[in-house]
């Protein structure tokens, strides 16, 4: 939940009220924060995930808070037909999609010598392919509404050259190329496409799987700012990129990493 005290400290975007928003991977982590933040702005939110339990718990908690609840549709994004069907269902419920947050991803670790062709293809399907096909499906909806905003979740991993997950890092670099290509192609329809690039964000999964004492030291050394990045820090940038406040921003990377150098 975003408490009243917390939300009153941050921006409210009148242009997001009633806007039809579609979020992938909204069941946990940064995606959950995206769902909560767009709902708090009065947007009509639909989200997909494979993690049914946490997704349904999120919907229930938002219902109990009394706001207009998001629509959850179970969908494995590796199945592009299922993704297309979910987007059509979301548009039927909330009106043509105006904001797409391509958020879902998976950073499971792997060593180069262990990567098979099937594993490589699966990593691309989980981290890159659905972003293109979601944008393809969103385009006619956005065109019909006179414009829209597509927000692709990238990562600093490829800029800093992280080891231990080369397929993930490759997919994340590809998302920047995808952003540039689609921003150019869709721009004349006033559809904006940007890449939102998180640093190391303290989601439940990151803390459980990857945050070690060495990782804590790395954050302290490499971030300019001392605080730990939270999912809400990323969601607030997404609100800006989705709103009319960023009307002339497209084809860019927006990095939220506490100054990772």
Query: Which residue's CB is nearer to ligand NAD, number 113 or number 221?
Result: 221
Minimum CB separation of residue 144 from ligand NAD in Å reads 26
Q: What sign for the dihedral angle of Cα 179, 180, 184, 185? A: negative
Answer whether 106's CB lies under 8 Å from 29's CB.
no
Q: Which of 40, 71, 77, 100 binds ligand NAD (CB under 6 A)?
A: 77
**Does an H or E element contain 62, and which?**
helix 52-64
Q: Which of 40, 201, 235, 241 binds ligand NAD (CB under 6 A)?
A: 201
CA dist 47 and 72 (Å) reads 5
Q: Does 252 bind ligand NAD (CB under 6 A)?
A: no
Q: For the chain, what's the residue count?
A: 261
Answer whether 39's CB lies under 8 Å from 67's CB.
yes
Size of the site for ligand NAD (CB under 6 A): 28
**Residue located via tokens 């971030």:** 223
Q: Which stretch binds ligand NAD (CB under 6 A): 22-30, 59-67, 134-142, 179-187?
A: 22-30
Q: Is 168 marked active-site?
A: yes
Q: Which of 68, 136, 170, 206 binds ligand NAD (CB under 6 A)?
A: 206
Query: Which residue's CB is nearer to ligand NAD, number 15 or number 218?
Result: 218
CA dist 180 and 252 (Å) reads 7
CA dist 41 and 7 (Å) reads 10
Q: Which of 7, 15, 42, 51 binds ligand NAD (CB under 6 A)?
A: 51
End-to-end CA distance of the chain: 32
**Does an H or E element contain 234, and which?**
helix 231-242
Answer whether 250's CB lies under 8 Å from 194's CB.
yes
Given the residues 13, 119, 168, 176, the one annotated as active site: 168
Pick out residues in 110-169 that bind ligand NAD (CB under 6 A): 126, 153, 155
Q: Which of 198, 240, 255, 258 binds ligand NAD (CB under 6 A)?
A: 198
Q: Which stretch binds ligand NAD (CB under 6 A): 15-23, 27-35, 113-121, 247-255?
A: 27-35
Q: Which stretch binds ligand NAD (CB under 6 A): 112-120, 185-193, 199-207, 212-220?
A: 199-207
Answer whether 133's CB lies under 8 Å from 104's CB.
no
Q: Does 200 bind ligand NAD (CB under 6 A)?
A: yes
Q: Which stretch binds ligand NAD (CB under 6 A): 48-56, 179-187, 220-228, 246-254?
A: 48-56
Q: Which of 31, 148, 174, 258 binds ligand NAD (CB under 6 A)?
A: 31
* Bridge partners (DSSP) listed for residue 72: 47
Answer whether 152's CB lies under 8 Å from 136's CB.
no
Q: Does 29 bind ligand NAD (CB under 6 A)?
A: yes
Q: Which of 7, 76, 133, 228 binds ligand NAD (CB under 6 A)?
A: 76
User: For residue 230, which of 195, 209, 194, 199 has the smallest C-alpha distance?
Assistant: 199
> Catalytic positions, please?
168
């Amino acid at each position: 939940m975003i408490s009243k005290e917390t939300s009153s400290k941050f921006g409210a975007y009148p242009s997001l009220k009633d806007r039809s928003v579609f979020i992938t991977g909204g069941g946990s982590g940064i995606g959950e924060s995206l769902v909560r933040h767009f709902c708090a702005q009065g947007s009509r939110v639909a989200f997909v995930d494979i993690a049914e339990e946490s997704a349904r718990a999120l919907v229930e908690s938002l219902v109990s808070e009394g706001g207009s609840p998001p629509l959850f549709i179970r969908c494995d994004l590796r199945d592009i037909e299922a993704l297309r069907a979910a987007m059509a269902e979301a548009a039927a419920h909330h009106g043509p999609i105006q904001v797409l947050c391509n958020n879902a991803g998976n950073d499971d670790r792997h060593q180069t010598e262990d990567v098979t062709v099937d594993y490589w293809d699966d990593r691309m399907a989980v981290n890159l392919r659905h972003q293109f096909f979601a944008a393809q499906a969103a385009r006619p909806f956005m065109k019909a509404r006179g414009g829209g905003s597509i927000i692709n979740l990238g990562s600093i991993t490829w800029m800093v050259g992280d080891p231990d997950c080369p397929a993930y890092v490759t997919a994340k670099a590809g998302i920047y190329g995808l952003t540039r290509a689609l921003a150019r192609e869709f721009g004349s329809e006033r559809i904006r496409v940007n890449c939102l690039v998180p640093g190391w964000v303290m989601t439940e999964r990151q803390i459980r799987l990857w945050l070690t004492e060495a990782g804590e030291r790395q954050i302290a050394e490499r971030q300019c700012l001392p605080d730990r990045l939270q999912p809400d820090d990323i969601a607030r940038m997404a609100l800006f990129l989705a709103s009319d406040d960023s009307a002339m921003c497209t084809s860019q990377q927006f990095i939220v990493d506490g100054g990772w150098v």
